[in-house]
Amino acid sequence: MPIGRRVAYWRGRRRLSQQVLADRLGKSKSWVDKVERGVRSLDRVSTIEEIATVLRIDVAVLLSRSVPPAEATGRVAGVELVGAALSAYEIALGRSARVPVPPVDRLVESVRHAWTSFQHARYPQVVTFLPGLLAAAQRAHADDPVSGRGPLVEAYRVTAAVLVKLGEVDLAWVAADRAMNVASGDPVLVAAAAVQLGQVLRAAGRSRPAQVAMRAAAYRVAPPDLDDGAPPEVSLCGTLLVQAALAAAGQGDGRAVAELIDEAADLAARVGDGQDHHRTGFGPTAVDLARTTAAVELGQVDEAVAWHEKTTTRDGWRWLAAEHRAAHLVDAARAYLLVGDPATAGRLLVDADRVAPAEVRHRPSARAVVARVARDPHVPAMVLPLVTALGLS
């Protein structure tokens, strides 16, 4: 399939019109039409990279080559060992009967350490820690399915979360699926596991199934009476609605986005900022940051910038985990790029790197945004050290 037809195919998958794609690329609709019809060739790697970024796919997909994209060169060492841990079935095969089972309280502390490291965006350290954690959690669950169930679900959740960050979507899907299976029968555990499932499905470009699954999980865990609902369950319900809204944004469904985000905002008002029930960081500030991300996906970049500037002045912004804040700054940088302000985009990326370096240096989608800023002739000098550190100069 010619590259122009692949562009057309993925544009359709992302539910983008030619005009929206053109706007996000800073091109004319006629230019996009000519590319898709093969009248105009794509002979610049930088242009192909930009199209791939907008379409949320690897450059290799457009080039039809089995090579890693340039933005993925910051791959974290040790991911293969996490994959090996997920591929092992030693418990089912009875090959680890003589391995000691860790005490559940020690395992719970290990899971808590993994989550804390993740929220500080220490992704390489988390990856190093995960193989042993997964093996220990699996043994504990096999020894005592009742007390070992929660720690194993949480071990799979944090595994899926960090793998999504690192662009390892296939492995993340395995971890999220394992979490859902182990959690089955416990509505709260299922809802917690579904948060990572939603992230995986969106990262895989499966926006429609993600929206359906997140809605179902949210309404299943929703308290019958919101006024009497426990904050942890309300937080899970609201987080799942945010995931559903972001999935709807990936489909270009602005009406569903508004409905779901507003519903989540009502729940967030009941919880308040400064909470982190079930590692969600859910609250009014988190919901309004999600409005920025959704607006970028919908092409409503002026609205995205407005929400960013409004929300990051709150106390709740400073209370969020470093990983959450840095991820938002990268999304906001995308918005400023699309409104033609590469200088502010560059400053936000430098801020993100200061808050959580691994979020920028090891996350492929963030590296892609840095690469786009680096190609702009008006990039501020303060960005150049980051560009050089990422090997993008």
Taking Cα atoms as reference points, which of 90, 108, 107 lies closest to residue 99?
90
Looking at 33, 67, 101, the residue that finishes a domain is 67
Q: What is the residue type of 130?
A: L
Domain count, the chain: 2
Please, what is the Cα angle at 322 between 154 and 269, to 5 degrees? 75
pLDDT values of the chain reduced to their tens digit, one per residue, 393 residues: 678 888 988 888 888 999 999 998 989 999 999 998 888 887 666 788 788 888 887 676 776 543 333 333 455 778 888 988 888 776 666 655 566 788 999 999 999 999 999 999 999 999 999 999 999 999 999 889 999 999 999 999 999 999 999 999 999 999 999 999 999 999 999 999 999 999 999 999 899 999 999 999 999 999 888 778 899 999 999 999 999 999 999 989 999 999 999 999 999 999 999 999 999 999 999 999 999 999 999 989 999 999 999 999 999 999 999 999 999 999 999 999 989 899 999 999 999 999 999 999 999 989 999 988 888 877 777 888 888 888 875
The structure tokens 């090959």 sit at 95
Q: At what angle do helices 187-203 and 169-183 cross, to 10 degrees?
A: 160
What is the C-alpha separation between 322 and 120, in angstroms, rounded? 5
The structure tokens 């019958």 sit at 224
What is the C-alpha separation between 153 and 166, in angstroms, rounded? 20
Looking at 31, 52, 67, the residue that finishes a domain is 67
Residue 210 is assigned to a structural domain of this protein: no
Residue 186 is assigned to a structural domain of this protein: no
CB 95 within 8 A of CB 49: no
By CB atoms closer than 10 A (0-12, 13-18, 19+), residue 303 is middle
Dihedral pair phi/psi, residue 283, rounded to 5°: 175, 180
The two three-digit tokens of residue 292, written as one number:
């920025």
Residue 88 is assigned to a structural domain of this protein: no
The structure tokens 């395992």 sit at 107
The two three-digit tokens of residue 225, written as one number:
């009476």
Supply the pTM of this predicted model.
Answer: 0.80
Residue 329 is assigned to a structural domain of this protein: yes
What is the C-alpha separation between 30 and 235, in angstroms, rounded? 46
Residue 387 is assigned to a structural domain of this protein: yes
Residue 183 is assigned to a structural domain of this protein: no
The two three-digit tokens of residue 87, written as one number:
């591929």
Looking at 51, 67, 83, the residue that finishes a domain is 67
Q: Which domain holds residue 36?
A: 1-67
CB 104 within 8 A of CB 309: no
Taking Cα atoms as reference points, which of 303, 302, 300, 309 lies closest to residue 328?
309
What is the C-alpha separation between 269 and 284, in angstroms, rounded? 6
Residue 59 is assigned to a structural domain of this protein: yes
Residue 159 is assigned to a structural domain of this protein: no
